[in-house]
Chains A and B, each alone.
Chain A
């Protein structure tokens, strides 16, 4: 059973555009929601994370929006750049523990110049 569903599987955006990736979860006990960025041949790296006590968190061009009642959260990349081209994973865990993360299947983002 997949506990974190991520969409879309792939996304193509023009430079300067907004990239939006969505995730939905089922387990209401989840209370830590990070996003990871992975470049080809590299391991995932933490990009930004949110806890359910806030509805939005922004770091530079990256914003997480969180909707607790809908059990959904999304990543917005403003002014998308070719260097943002990577695979993005959402994840969730219980008890603010990042060791037992449940990952989404990933979204391959391509930003065209």
Chain B
């Protein structure tokens, strides 16, 4: 199994541009999470999907952030417009069912200049 696959691994963009991060969860997993990691705030849950439905998006920082899961094998996290304070490592994770171990991808390091 290839694990959770995230793309791109690194993204550098200018302030104001739209950024789209992509995630392919492990096949058969029906829960998907987006996390953000920064030195100041550590690891924060942004949004949680179960069976492709957003269950909890209370961690999404503001309206500039949006996430979709059109099918069981793909999710996106979009930031529009991006700001320098959005610079962080964004992780996607998936689990086979609720209340089981989450498997993390390798992350996307986003730098907004």
Contacts and interface: CB of A to CB of B under 8 A. Distances in A.
Interface of A: 41-46, 89, 96-101, 103-106
B86 to A, nearest CB: 19
A40 B33 CA distance: 21
A16 B25 CA distance: 38
Interface of B: 4, 31, 33, 42-45, 48, 55-56, 91, 93, 95, 98-107
State the main secondary structure of chain B at its contact with A: strand
Given A99-B31, A99-B56, A44 B43 contact: yes
Contacts of A45: 103-104
Given A89-B43, A103-B42, A97 B99 contact: yes
A45 B42 CA distance: 15
B98 A97 contact: yes
Q: Name the residue among B91, B95, B100, B104 with the largest chain A CB count within 10 angstroms.
A: B104
Contacts of B56: 99-100
A99 B97 CA distance: 10
A43 B98 contact: no
Contacts of A42: 104, 106-107
Contact of B98 (A44, A46, A99): A99
A75 B13 CA distance: 39
